[in-house]
Structure 1
Amino acid sequence: MAARPPVDPPTDPPAGPSGGPADNPARIPAAAPLPGPSGPLIVTEDDGLIDTLLKLCAAAGATPQVVCGAPPPRQAWEAAPLVLVGVDVADRMATLARRPGVLLVGLDLDDSEVWQKAVTIGAEHVVFLPDSDAWLLDRVADAAEGVGHPALTVAVLGGRGGAGASTLACALAVTAAREGHRTLLIDVDPLGGGLDVLLGGEEAAGLRWPDLAASRGRVSAVELEHALPRLHRLSALSWDRGDTLTIPVEAVRTVLGAARRRGGVVVLDLPRRIDEAAAEALEQADLGLLVVPAELRAMTASSRVASGVALRLGDLRAVVRGPSPSGMTGEEVARGLRLPLAGELSAEPGLAADLECGRPPGARPKGPLGRFCTAFLTEALAGAGLTDGGGVAA
Structure 2
Amino acid sequence: MTDELLALVGPDLSDDVARCAAAAGYQMLRADPEHCRREWLRADAVVADVNATRVLAELGPPRRAGLVMVTDGEPAADIWRSAMSLGADRAVSLPAEESTLVGLLTELRSPLAAPAGAVAVIGGHGGAGATTLAAAVALTAAEESTHVLLFDVDEFGAGIDLTLGIEGRAGLRWQDLTLAGGAVRAQSLHSALPQVNDRLSVLAPRRDSRLRIGVDAVIATMDAGRVNGDTVVVDLPRTADPVTDAVLDSVDLVVLVTTAGVHGVASSRTVAARLGERGIAAALAVRGPAPSGLRASEVASAVGLPLLTAYRSDPGLPGRMEAGRLRVPPRSPLGRAALAVYRKAGAAERLAA
TM-score, normalised relative to structure 1 = 0.65
Higher helix share: 2
Match of 2:286 among 302, 307, 320: 320
> What residue is the counterpart of 1:124 in the other structure?
105
Whether 1:151 aligns to 2:116 is yes
Equivalent pair of 1:182/1:265 in contact (CA under 8 Å)? yes
> What residue is the counterpart of 2:164 in the other structure?
199
- Label 1:326 to 1:249 Cα distance change in 2 as closer, same or farther (>3 A): same
Equivalent pair of 1:168/1:361 in contact (CA under 8 Å)? no
Q: How does 1:55-66 map to 2 (within 5 A)?
A: 59=85
Show structure 2 runs of 5+ residues with no match. Answer: 1-8, 29-45, 60-64, 67-73
Whether 1:170 aligns to 2:135 is yes
Offset at residue 328 of structure 1 (A) = 0.9
Deviations 1:286-318 (A, max 9, x none): 111111111111111111122222222422111
Cα RMSD of the aligned pairs, angstroms, is 3.5
Alpha-carbon distance between aligned partners in 2 of 1:219 and 1:207, rounded to the nearest angstrom: 13
Offset at residue 365 of structure 1 (A) = 1.4
- Label 1:155 to 1:313 Cα distance change in 2 as closer, same or farther (>3 A): farther
Alpha-carbon distance between aligned partners in 2 of 1:237 and 1:355, rounded to the nearest angstrom: 20
Alpha-carbon distance between aligned partners in 1 of 2:336 and 2:290, rounded to the nearest angstrom: 20
Deviations 1:219-270 (A, max 9, x none): 2233233322221330111011223363232332222222222223211111
> What residue is the counterpart of 2:295 in the other structure?
329
What secondary structure does 1:184 align onto? strand
Equivalent pair of 2:57/2:83 in contact (CA under 8 Å)? no
Offset at residue 111 of structure 1 (A) = 8.2
Match of 1:256 among 212, 222, 231: 222
> What residue is the counterpart of 2:250 in the other structure?
284
Equivalent pair of 1:274/1:308 in contact (CA under 8 Å)? no
In the alignment of these two chains, the number of paired residues is 295
Offset at residue 57 of structure 1 (A) = 9.7
- Label 1:332 to 1:251 Cα distance change in 2 as closer, same or farther (>3 A): same
Deviations 1:37-71 (A, max 9, x none): xx99xxxxxxx99x9999679957x9xxxxxxxxx
Amino acid at match of 1:206: G
- Label 1:296 to 1:245 Cα distance change in 2 as closer, same or farther (>3 A): farther
What secondary structure does 1:123 align onto? helix
- Label 1:15 to 1:345 Cα distance change in 2 as closer, same or farther (>3 A): same
Kindly name which structure, 1 or 2, has the bigger radius of gyration based on alpha carbons: 1
Equivalent pair of 2:253/2:348 in contact (CA under 8 Å)? no
Equivalent pair of 1:159/1:305 in contact (CA under 8 Å)? yes
TM-score, normalised relative to structure 2 = 0.72
Q: How does 1:101-250 map to 2 (within 5 A)?
A: 104-105=90-91, 109=93, 112=96, 114-119=97-102, 122-124=103-105, 148-232=113-197, 233-244=199-210, 246-250=212-216
> What residue is the counterpart of 1:15 in the other structure?
56
- Label 1:17 to 1:204 Cα distance change in 2 as closer, same or farther (>3 A): farther
Alpha-carbon distance between aligned partners in 2 of 1:17 and 1:314, rounded to the nearest angstrom: 26
Aligned identity (percent) is 36
What secondary structure does 2:263 align onto? helix
> What residue is the counterpart of 1:352 in the other structure?
318
- Label 1:249 to 1:55 Cα distance change in 2 as closer, same or farther (>3 A): closer
Whether 1:305 aligns to 2:286 is no
> What residue is the counterpart of 1:78 in the other structure?
none
